[in-house]
Chains A and B, each alone.
Chain A
Amino acid sequence: DVKVTQSSRYLVKRTGEKVFLECVQDMDHENMFWYRQDPGLGLRLIYFSYDVKMKEKGDIPEGYSVSREKKERFSLILESASTNQTSMYLCASAQGEMSTDTQYFGPGTRLTVL
């Protein structure tokens, strides 16, 4: 079974802190994604990576950056956390570039910024 793990289930940070969210997948997938999930807004894509060191902005990249130094690991970075970044963050991975390739999600990290 594909496993996508996220470093923390719950995280509380203060405004202005630098925050790292880590995601690891164990299936040698090419593509990895970071989404945020907010009530009434669904899942919104923050960043996408299709290869090591390659990244592409999603719908809402402002205030975020990403890092993919190894194929299995994709990190989301909040350079200076703000209260409006309080949300559920979901990482996903997928094998290839076909539209039919299933995205496999981690359990999510609920981030609260005070």
Chain B
Amino acid sequence: QQQVKQSPQSLIVQKGGISIINCAYENTAFDYFPWYQQFPGKGPALLIAIRPDVSEKKEGRFTISFNKSAKQFSLHIMDSQPGDSATYFCAAPLGGGGNKLTFGTGTQLKVEL
């Protein structure tokens, strides 16, 4: 059973547009929500992360919005560029020792010219 539910599975955005990827979770014990970015032929890499004590975190064109009451968080990519074309994964820590993560199913983003 998926502990973080991610949507959409794929997304096509025009250059300069806003890309929005959503994730929902049930476990209120989750205390950290990272997003990983994966380019074709590469492993995922940490993009941006948020803790649930803030509602928003911004790094350049990437913003995480967090809604604790709704148990949802989303990644917004402003002024999307073709170089942003990648697969994005949301994640949350499983706890229980070590920093195991549970990942969403991924969103394949394509930014068209």
Contact = CB atoms under 8 A, between A and B. Distances in A.
Interface of A: 4, 31, 33, 40-45, 48, 50, 56, 58, 90, 92, 94, 96-108
Given A31-B99, A40-B106, 8 more contacts: A31-B98, A42-B2, A44-B103, A45-B100, A56-B97, A104-B45, A105-B36, A107-B42
Interface hub of A43, A45, A98 (most chain B Cβ within 10 A): A43
Interface of B: 2, 6, 9, 31-32, 34, 36, 41-46, 49, 51, 89, 93, 95, 97-106
B91 to A, nearest CB: 8
B45 A105 contact: yes
B49 A48 contact: no
Nearest to B34: A102
Contacts of A31: 98-99
A106 B100 contact: no
Interface hub of B49, B97, B103 (most chain A Cβ within 10 A): B103
Contact of B97 (A33, A90, A97, A102): A97
Nearest to A44: B103
Contact of B105 (A42, A90, A96, A99): A42
